[in-house]
Structure 1
Amino acid sequence: MRAHRLATITVAAAALLLGSTAPAIATSGSDAAPFAAQATAAHLTTSQTNSLRAEVRRIMATTGGKQVALNKIDLNGQGNVLVAIPGEAHPRNLPTSSADEYDHCTEGDVYSGYFCAYASPSYQGTEIQMFACKAYPIPWVGNGSWINDQYPGTQARFYNNSGTKIFTTPVPFSWNTNYSTWTNVHTIWPC
């Protein structure tokens, strides 16, 4: 057992030093990293897996919630954060396939009840799906996009870090493919 573990550590260290692009490998037993099987099944490199884990930790430090998949954070039953894999335009559904994770704001019925904020323009990058009437912290800066697909008459409100309202969306169905900056937005109340 000790020889196997030493060989595994040696191979992993060599891969990191050589900049391996081989898929991340799940370890066995209690030392297995959370969601390692998803990374392996998705054919993610060690670098992609480590970058994704770091991004999930960074976002959770702002939004809270519980990590329920390698790239998904459950916001206590009140929404989700779907984190895009580095270099990809949209979050994936890692537990089941390489297809895009279901986006309540761009797919399905109009007036889904969701407000969705995207880290990048044109509904790309990491996405926060907001459903409950509460403050959702925004964990990114720069240009992004949003879709108000809530119930008729519902407007989202954007607040800066001092609590001042800086923007109110039009009623659903409304959107902005290139919101000028998330940098000034500290929280969104989708109701």
Structure 2
Amino acid sequence: MPIINVRRGAWSALLAAALLAVGFTGAQAADASSFTEQASMAGLSTAQAGELQRQVDAYVAQTGGRQISANKIDLGGGALVVALPGETYARDVAAPLAPPPCYAGDLCLYSGQNYTGSYLYFYKCQTVFVPWYTTGSFNDNQTSGTISTFERISPPGHLRYVAKVKVPSINWANIGNITVC
């Protein structure tokens, strides 16, 4: 899957306009009612469910992924789990409230510091886009010795991390793409 960095200028507006022009909403109409039901079962109000869906739609537009539940996006070789409104840790709506695990073999990226907020996890070698501009964190729980390369925007260059490493604070606004493995 080609990587298109929609982080810069006109590309974001162009992509959003193109997706809206073809009627793309981030979720198929047949799935929309089940996603709404999942949000309700997770205890979200109608307003919170609407906010969650707006966040999911924005992430789908940024990443090119496919919504597979109320707060989860399949990225082909990984997934993005969006934190529910008002919750510190992201969780799949069917799972109990708990910090998300970062399984052996995964590179896990979090939108918030100290492994909080929405999170992405990857288990397949690929180059991925980081959709956040926040100070977040990551846990590289891949096989020991595996190297992940973070493309630094300013100054231009690369940061290389050797698994297993946990970083509780990183500025995602200064990271473009990450090559997992």
- Shorter-chain TM-score tier: 0.7 to 0.9
Q: Secondary structure at the match of 1:153?
A: coil
The residue aligned with 1:93 is 92
Q: Secondary structure at the match of 1:135?
A: strand
Letter in 2 for 1:83: V
In the alignment, the residues of structure 2 paired with residue 99 and residue 123 of structure 1 have an alpha-carbon distance, to the nearest angstrom, of 14
Query: Does 2:166 align with 1:175?
Result: yes
What TM-score do the two structures reach when normalised by structure 1? 0.72
In the alignment, the residues of structure 1 paired with residue 151 and residue 56 of structure 2 have an alpha-carbon distance, to the nearest angstrom, of 23
Q: Deviations over 1:64-106 (max 9, x none)?
A: 2211110001112x01111101221111221x3443475224x
The 3 A distance-change label for structure 1 pair 50 and 143 is same
The residue aligned with 1:154 is 146
In the alignment, the residues of structure 1 paired with residue 102 and residue 31 of structure 2 have an alpha-carbon distance, to the nearest angstrom, of 35
The 3 A distance-change label for structure 1 pair 38 and 172 is same
**Residue 61 (structure 1) shift:** 1.3
The residue aligned with 2:72 is 72
The residue aligned with 1:115 is 107
What TM-score do the two structures reach when normalised by structure 2? 0.76
The residue aligned with 1:189 is 179
The 3 A distance-change label for structure 1 pair 98 and 172 is same
The residue aligned with 2:37 is 37
The residue aligned with 1:46 is 46
The 3 A distance-change label for structure 1 pair 184 and 32 is closer
In the alignment, the residues of structure 2 paired with residue 175 and residue 128 of structure 1 have an alpha-carbon distance, to the nearest angstrom, of 15
Would you say the 8 A contact 1:42–1:98 is kept in 2? no
RMSD: 2.3
Structure 1 unmatched ranges of 5 or more: 1-29, 106-111
Find the structure with the greater CA-based Rg: 1
The residue aligned with 1:104 is 102
Q: Secondary structure at the match of 1:189?
A: strand
The residue aligned with 1:81 is 80
In the alignment, the residues of structure 1 paired with residue 112 and residue 61 of structure 2 have an alpha-carbon distance, to the nearest angstrom, of 20
Q: Deviations over 1:18-77 (max 9, x none)?
A: xxxxxxxxxxxx79645111011111011211111111111111212211110001112x
User: Identity of counterpart residues, as a percentage?
Assistant: 32
In the alignment, the residues of structure 1 paired with residue 74 and residue 99 of structure 2 have an alpha-carbon distance, to the nearest angstrom, of 14
Greater RCO, 1 or 2 (C-alpha within 8 Å, sep 6+): 2
In the alignment, the residues of structure 1 paired with residue 137 and residue 97 of structure 2 have an alpha-carbon distance, to the nearest angstrom, of 21
**Residue 166 (structure 1) shift:** 2.8
